[in-house]
A and B are shown apart, each in its own frame.
Chain A
Amino acid sequence: DTGVSQDPRHKITKRGQNVTFRCDPISEHNRLYWYRQTLGQGPEFLTYFQNEAQLEKSRLLSDRFSAERPKGSFSTLEIQRTEQGDSAMYLCASSLTSGRPTDTQYFGPGTRLTVL
């Protein structure tokens, strides 16, 4: 399977703990995106990378959130001092950008985070 993969698929943690998620994009895709989806809502954009550079961050990405893509391949999203409001599905997507708005983003299966 050469699609976008995410790990873990499910994470249950206690409030105040740190969690880290991983995303492996489609090979050779140079853009990688992170979204958050809560129940009954559409995905909301968090941040994206072009190669290893983080180019845009949403106001939703508080100081407790940090994302990296150190070698321009896989990415990690870390949430520090988790809160119950962080419970959501975290989605990763990748695309091969041509610099045009037509680029298609391909989504992974998501990591479902539950904060107790």
Chain B
Amino acid sequence: GNSVTQMEGPVTLSEEAFLTINCTYTATGYPSLFWYVQYPGEGLQLLLKATKADDKGSNKGFEATYRKETTSFHLEKGSVQVSDSAVYFCALSDPGGGADGLTFGKGTHLIIQP
């Protein structure tokens, strides 16, 4: 079956530090990959997505590249801000593999200190 593994948190960084949150996946078909973010007290919001190998998704200074050879979709940001503190979820959609719902990782709690 499908699965998503992402690095355990919490991840604590200082403002303006470089961020990487690792995400790897297992899928039976040709999935699309997503990063969702959940700010404190709010619902899940789509941050970025990539639909095929070597695609790069980007938004709000975050980016992630769909790497089929390593089955990875790592999230990066060059300079984080306090406002980036949230829980980040990596997810995949694999309808070709018989799974129309999203498969999520457990989430990574990011804490940015001023």
Contacts and interface: CB of A to CB of B under 8 A. Distances in A.
B42 interface: yes
Given A40-B106, A106-B46, A101 B101 contact: no
Interface stretch (A10-18, A42-50, A62-70, A72-80): A42-50
Chain A: interface size category? 20 to 34
A35 B99 CA distance: 13
B43 A48 contact: no
A41 interface: yes
Contacts of B76: none
B44 A43 contact: yes
Q: What is the interface of chain B mostly: helix, strand, loop, or mixed?
A: strand
A4 B107 CA distance: 22
A109 B42 contact: yes
B72 interface: no
B93 A43 contact: no
Interface of B: 4, 29-32, 34, 36, 42-46, 49, 51, 89, 91, 93-96, 99-107
